[in-house]
Amino acid sequence: MNSFPKDFLWGTATSAYQIEGAYKKDGRGASVWDRFCETKGKVWEGHTGKVACDHYHRFREDIGIMRDLGLQAYRFSISWTRILPSGRGKVNAKGLEFYDRLTNELLQAGIRPFCTLFHWDYPTKLYDKGGWLNEESPKWFSDFTLKVAERLGDRIVDWMTLNEPQVFVGLGHGTGEHAPGDKLPIAKQLKIVRNVQLAHGLGVQALRAGCAKRGRIGWAPVGVVFYPATDSPGDIEAARKWTYGCGNNHMFSNTLWSDPVVLGRVAPEAEKAFGKALPKYSDADLHTMAQRMDFYGVNIYQGTPVTEGPKGKGKVIRFPDGNPRTAFVWNVTPESLYWGPKFLHERYKLPLYITENGLSNIDWVSTDGKVHDPQRIDFLGRYLGELKRVVNDGVPVKGYFQWSLLDNFEWAEGYKQRFGLVHVDYGTQKRTLKDSCDWYRNVIRTQGDMI
Ligand code: IFM
């Protein structure tokens, strides 16, 4: 087995609401997550992101940790309501200054910033005007994006418009498990899908117009992965079909989201699955959505095995009893990091980044003062092994962002789930590097050769 390419990029990822805290500091406006956290019974044990990892005040210390790790790239997101407290209109200079400082410190540390415009913290003021259902919403997003591009686009080159639209629409507006907690009928969810895709397209245009440096632009949807239970051609074909499908888990599809954005068409699979519930996509809509992208970012944590099944329709295989699972009870499926990129590249033909992958584990500080997390090391090693295999098979995966640098606020699960390479004591804000942090440092140092 060969190595990862010399220019393969090693990073970690975070998002604004999950780490920044400082929820009222320097004029930040409220997001739907602030409101959701205030609503009784929505978030585990009533946790909130009010303080989180206090990264807003401790970002220099955190960049020190990144430097110590030898990190080459860092993916973070912008809090929309720090920049535009009401979601649109008056710009909050202090909000922009924070990301200015963050960007400068990263660059000084030799770390390449990868900036995500939207990672779920939607302005409440805009939600109250109809949010993503409002036909103006794509424009609201692109106006916000333009402000960020004009300020940071002389230094940041790598951009992603949206993080995991499947989740913020599916859980935020479908099942109601995430903010804003809506349970909309499918036709309305699909209307949101279309507006979000338009927002992406206008956002790319805003980045191209506003950045002083030529940007490299992508997005970061969930990679919904089905992988073949065996190497038989029938199983492989079934896995491919399911990965491109729009199954029962409505919003959790690759092609519903990415065909309009990358290929400029509505996915035939989506037409079949949703029929009349799909809103009309005009030629002009598709033209706006399908802006040229430089890469396809994808977040992959798990996959589902399938076999050819009766009449070649494919059949999901049940995991064996006692299958390894994460603390989130997600099945440990390293194969997903082989088959996911492979199938997505076959369809979309873009260079890829793994913009998230990682393990939620039950970690704590041991009596020796260290945090021992052998499961995370094993998990990451297995997944990276599969990633190396797919890269060696010629699929152009350009980099990998481990989720996450720090333990952080895991949405409806509050602080129950710990994904970090760095343990955070939320009472004292003390950071403790976990064993996996040392391990990842070696992965980076050897450019993945130790995998
Ligand atoms: O913490 C989240 C992140 O915000 C989006 N992707 C999945 C992660 C783990 O659940």
Report how far residue 398's alpha carbon sits from residue 9's, in angstroms, rounded to the nearest whole number: 6
pLDDT tens, per residue, the chain with 451 residues: 578 999 999 999 999 999 999 999 999 999 999 999 999 999 999 999 999 999 999 999 999 999 999 999 999 999 999 999 999 999 999 999 999 999 999 999 999 999 999 999 999 999 999 999 999 999 999 999 999 999 999 999 999 999 999 999 999 999 999 999 999 999 999 999 999 999 999 999 999 999 999 999 999 999 999 999 999 999 999 999 999 999 866 899 999 999 999 999 999 999 999 999 999 999 999 999 999 999 999 999 999 999 999 887 899 999 999 999 999 999 999 999 999 999 999 999 999 999 999 999 999 999 999 999 999 999 999 999 999 999 999 999 999 999 999 999 999 999 999 999 999 999 999 999 999 999 999 999 999 999 9
235 alpha carbon – ligand 1 mean position (Å)? 29
Q: What's the structural domain count of the chain?
A: 1
Report how far residue 429's alpha carbon sits from residue 423's, in angstroms, rounded to the nearest whole number: 9
pTM of the model as a whole: 0.98
* Closest residue by CA, ligand 1 atom 9: 410
Angle at 172 between CA 425 and CA 198, to 5 degrees: 115
309 alpha carbon – ligand 1 mean position (Å)? 32
Report how far residue 279's alpha carbon sits from residue 257's, in angstroms, rounded to the nearest whole number: 13
**Which of 300, 336, 419, 421 to probe ligand 1 with, by most ligand atoms within 8 A of CB?**
419
Give the active site residue among 20, 335, 356, 410. 356
* Closest residue by CA, ligand 1 atom 5: 164
Q: Return the residue matching tokens 């997003």.
A: 141
**Which of 403, 416, 424 to probe ligand 1 with, by most ligand atoms within 8 A of CB?**
403
Cβ 421 vs Cβ 437: under 8 Å: yes
360 alpha carbon – ligand 1 mean position (Å)? 10
* Closest residue by CA, ligand 1 atom 10: 410
Closest to 148 (Cα-Cα) out of 198, 194, 197, 102: 102
Residue 4 lies in a domain: no
DSSP H/E element including 424: strand 422-425
Catalytic site residue 386? Answer: no
88 alpha carbon – ligand 1 mean position (Å)? 26
Angle at 99 between CA 98 and CA 100, to 5 degrees: 90
405 alpha carbon – ligand 1 mean position (Å)? 12
Exposed, middle or buried by CB within 10 Å (0-12, 13-18, 19+), for 287?
exposed
Ligand 1 atom nearest to 411, measured from its CA: 1
Report how far residue 337's alpha carbon sits from residue 356's, in angstroms, rounded to the nearest whole number: 11
Ligand 1 atom nearest to 360, measured from its CA: 9
Cβ 355 vs Cβ 387: under 8 Å: no
Residue 425 lies in a domain: yes
Give me the domain span that covers residue 421: 9-445
Residues with CB under 6 A from ligand 1: 15, 18, 164, 299, 356, 403, 410, 419
Ligand 1 atom nearest to 15, measured from its CA: 4
Catalytic site residue 356? Answer: yes
Tokens of 397: 């995966």
Phi, psi angle pair for 400, to nearest 5°: -140, 130
Eight-class DSSP state of 43: S
Give the active site residue among 164, 269, 308, 335. 164
Residue 450 lies in a domain: no
- Sequence-distant (6+) residues with CB within 8 A of 264 are 286, 287, 289, 290
We report the CATH number of the domain holding residue 146 as: 3.20.20.80
pLDDT at residue 310 in the model: 87
Report how far residue 362's alpha carbon sits from residue 293's, in angstroms, rounded to the nearest whole number: 38
**Which of 20, 43, 356 to probe ligand 1 with, by most ligand atoms within 8 A of CB?**
356
Residue 2 lies in a domain: no
Tokens of 43: 């978030």
pLDDT at residue 1 in the model: 55
Residue 3 lies in a domain: no
2 alpha carbon – ligand 1 mean position (Å)? 31
